Structure 1
């Protein structure tokens, strides 16, 4: 198997796989990033976690909408400015993660607080310079060490199974 085929096997190759990839990453991200951020804000307790679980479905939908309609198009336009065809897979993935996490965390720092508190206020903007770097750091490390590798592994497994079916047929 060539290096190029190996690299592409870790990423979605069609729209259906793209949706699956996004669902995996967003599900893992929302279910880890939100509890850590809320725990740091309100304390780590079972009561806080149970209360937070009530808003997770709403947050998951919001995150997917932000990814589809804001982050993905914006990052897609910016990536060619910073990358070249000969850049390596890992470099492109790292830059994609940094750009996506930046866009999503900028937006979700405000929206997350609004959804979590149940009302729209200026609090997220007033505390933004204190809150956003922490949120970015949490989201970045969860994405790079947990959510993205699991989603890429799932894609590789899907493509390996597809390749086996093709070879055996």
Structure 2
């Protein structure tokens, strides 16, 4: 997998990859969830924009310190070395979105309400399936493909520079 052009190969590329995925995800998922919860109108959207930076910071923290370590242990248990790149990506998305949606259903509510309360736990089994569904499809159809496309283009530019040098 080290030579895969659609994935980051070093720390700088990982930062770019994570930035693309997280910025797209937060800017699409948060307004959709808020819209379904409180209605799709300008006022709700403007309130969502105010909390997006805090949600984004939470996402970055959760990805680096919680989701990635767990996902990196789980994916090899479900995917064999002979399985396709797409199978690996699908399991990675499935596990990442499951973990992040569980945490962010609670933490995102606290950030949005600007209050730490028990309410997100009381409504968890109503809110989480909707949040998971939205996040899974945004990740699978928009954020992850965009980040992999950016990596592929970056690696093509790097390769053309080494060939021309």
Q: If the length of structure 2 is used for normalisation, what is the TM-score?
A: 0.97
- Report whether the alignment pairs 1:77 with 2:73: yes
Alpha-carbon distance in 1 for matches of 2:90, 2:80: 14
Aligned partners of 1:14, 1:107: CA distance in 2, in Å?
27
Deviation of 1:109 after TM superposition, in Å, equals 0.2
CA-to-aligned-CA distance 1:77-132 (integer Å, 9 cap, x gap): 11121111111100000000000000000000000101100111111111111110
**Deviation, structure 1 residue 135:** 0.2
User: Within 5 Å, which residues of 2 pair with 1:37-116?
Assistant: 37-116=33-112
- Displacement of 1:34: 0.1
| Structure 1 vs Structure 2 CA RMSD | 1.3
Tell me the TM-score normalised to structure 1 length: 0.95
Instruction: Name 1:137's counterpart in structure 2.
Output: 133
Number of corresponding residues: 165
- Once residues 74 and 94 of structure 2 are traced to their aligned partners in structure 1, the CA distance between those partners, rounded to angstroms, is 12
Instruction: Give distance in 1, aligned partners of 2:126 and 2:83.
Output: 34
Unaligned residue ranges in structure 2 (runs of 5+): none
- In 1, the alpha carbon distance for the partners of 2:134 and 2:123 equals 17
